[in-house]
Each structure stands twice: as C-alpha cells, then as structure tokens.
C-alpha cells in the first residue's frame, strides 16, 4: 500500500515485537496501550484493515476503549497514522496476529466486545480451514469475553456466512445468537461502513452479520 505523506504511528501504534515476554502472564492491556481513561471497558477489532470502522466509531463512543489488531504491516501503519492525526484518545492499533495476542496477553473475562468485519474469506475449499472464525477460535474468544459480552461478525461472503452459522451452532453451550445490530457509526443503509463494505456495496453484494453473546 502506498501513501502520499510520511506516516507516523505516534502514541497510537504498537508492535507485537515490543510486547513484554508473555511468560509474565496476562498484560494490563488498558495500561500498556496508554489509554487515557483505563476505567472504561475494552472492545477489540480483529483485522482492522485501514482502520475506518475504529476511526468512525471511537469518537461516537467515548465511553469505550478500542484496540484494533491488524497483521498486515502497511495497513496497521496506515490505520495508526490516521488515529494519531484524528487525535483519538480512546483507540489504539496493534501490529500482531490476533490469535497470538489473545492467547498470550489478554486476561480471561476482560473484553466487552469483539468486532470482526469482513474477515478474509479463504474461498477455496482446501483453504477454508484458514478462516479466522471457527469453533476453536470461538471457544478461545469466549474465555476472553466478560459474561454478557459479545462478538459482532459481518461478511459479504455467503459461503463464509454459512460456515460461521455452522460453527456458531457448535458452541451453543457458550453463546446465544442474536440478530446483527449496526454500530452507531454506520452510515445510512450500511451494516458497519468499513472500507471493504463500501467497496463491495458498489458491486451490489449482499451482506450478512450476526452477534454471538457470551453466556455462562
Ligand atoms: C478482508 S480485510 C477487511 C478489513 C476491514 N475489516 C474492512 O472491512 O475493511 C481482512 C483484514 O484482516 C487482517 N487479518 C486477517 N487475519 C488476521 C489475524 N489473525 N490477525 C490480525 N489481522 C488479521 C488482514 O490483514 C486484512 O487486513
């Protein structure tokens, strides 16, 4: 990805390689990322891309701290630079593989919501197993959520949505399924309003979403 100006992640961008050794146990995520008000709940977006959802959502929900995780370095840098330029106090971007970060650094029962919007569909049958949303991942995320917390999922890919439904049906002991509710920042007629959604809307694609709420 190219950019017309020099990008600077400032205090908004963090690298997995700078995280403390994970033998130390769960990280105090809110303190480590320098959120201004650490009494506010934490929501995590996995696969933030260029950061559009968080840039739009964070100012609308100042009562929430948002952490975006993105493993493509150019997108991470682009998103963190945008957050710095918008001077948003309640949003940070981490360059990491989300599963690695969750497993090793995030305390159980600590996250209010996960946002996963337009995850890579891995459409070829032999690649389906690389999909982020699947039973094992849902079980892992469950343990990181607070009771009553939720995962919000959206996709443009019908086969991936059917796959999500199939995997959600395997974890009904952990989650209740609900209809998708768009975030405050979504524009008129949008499900979420991410870059991918806007690009695919022009192609007339159908979008689907669901919410999985932690029980137990
Ligand atoms: C199809 S893009 C969607 C980006 C954005 N959510 C949107 O809707 O515009 C999926 C993004 O997720 C990132 N990603 C996929 N798996 C990831 C993982 N395990 N950890 C962190 N980022 C991931 C990819 O690098 C990519 O930027």
Q: What distance in Å separates the CA atoms of residue 95 and residue 114, rounded to the nearest whole number?
A: 17
When pLDDT is cut at 50, 70 and 90, the band that residue 5 belongs to is: confident
Q: Is 70 exceeded by the pLDDT of residue 4?
A: no
**End-to-end CA, the chain:** 43
Phi-psi region of 146 (alpha: psi -120 to 50; beta: other; left: phi over 0): beta
| Ligand 1 site, CB within 6 A | 46-49, 69-72, 75, 97-99, 117-120, 132, 194-197
Q: Give Cα 138 distance to the centre of its chain.
A: 13
Nearest to 150 by CA among 99, 212, 107: 212
Please give the backbone phi and psi of residue 203, each rounded to the nearest 5 degrees, phi first: -85, 0
19-70 tens-digit pLDDT: 999 887 899 999 999 999 999 999 999 999 999 999 999 999 999 999 999 9
Q: Give Cα 51 distance to the centre of its chain.
A: 10
Q: What distance in Å separates the CA atoms of residue 106 and residue 28, rounded to the nearest whole number?
A: 8
pLDDT, the chain, mean: 96
- Containing 176, the helix (H) or strand (E) segment is strand 175-179
132-188 tens-digit pLDDT: 999 999 999 999 999 999 999 999 999 999 999 999 999 999 999 999 999 999 999
Say whether 8 is catalytic.
no
CATH dotted code for 42-214:
3.40.50.150
By alpha-carbon position, which residue is closest to atom 15 of ligand 1? 47
For residue 11, give Cα distances in angstroms to 82, 84, 98, 215: 12, 7, 20, 35
Confirm or deny that 52 is annotated as ligand binding. Answer: no
CB atoms within 10 A of CB 126: 7
For residue 113, give Cα distances in angstroms to 4, 72, 153, 212: 34, 22, 11, 10
Degrees (nearest 5) of the Cα angle 52, 55, 57?
100
Q: What distance in Å separates the CA atoms of residue 135 and residue 165, rounded to the nearest whole number?
A: 10
By alpha-carbon position, which residue is closest to atom 17 of ligand 1? 47
| Strand order through the sheet with 145-155 | 13-15, 91-95, 65-70, 42-46, 111-117, 145-155, 208-214, 175-179
CB 108 within 8 A of CB 35: no
Confirm or deny that 70 is annotated as ligand binding. Answer: yes
Q: Which of 18, 37, 108, 120 is catalytic?
A: 120
Tokens 């689907």 locate to: 208
113-129 tens-digit pLDDT: 999 999 999 999 999 99
């Amino acid at each position: 990805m190219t950019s017309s100006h020099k990008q600077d992640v400032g205090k908004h961008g963090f690298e997995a390689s700078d995280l403390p050794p994970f033998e130390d146990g769960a990280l105090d995520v809110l303190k480590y990322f320098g959120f201004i008000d650490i009494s506010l709940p934490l929501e995590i977006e996995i696969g933030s891309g260029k950061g559009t959802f968080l840039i739009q959502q964070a100012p609308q929900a100042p009562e929430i701290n948002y952490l975006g995780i993105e493993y493509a370095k150019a997108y991470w840098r682009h998103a963190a630079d945008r957050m710095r330029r918008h001077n948003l106090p309640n949003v940070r971007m981490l360059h990491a593989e989300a599963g690695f970060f969750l497993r090793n650094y995030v305390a159980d029962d600590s996250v209010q919501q996960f946002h996963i919007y337009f995850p890579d569909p891995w459409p070829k049958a032999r690649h389906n197993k690389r999909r982020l949303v699947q039973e094992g991942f849902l079980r892992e995320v469950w343990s990181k959520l607070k009771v009553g917390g939720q995962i919000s999922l959206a996709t443009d890919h019908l086969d991936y949505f059917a796959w999500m439904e199939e995997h959600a049906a395997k974890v009904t002991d952990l989650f209740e399924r609900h209809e998708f509710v768009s975030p405050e920042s979504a524009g008129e007629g949008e499900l979420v309003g991410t870059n991918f959604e806007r690009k695919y809307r022009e192609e007339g694609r159908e979008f689907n979403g669901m919410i999985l709420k932690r029980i137990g």
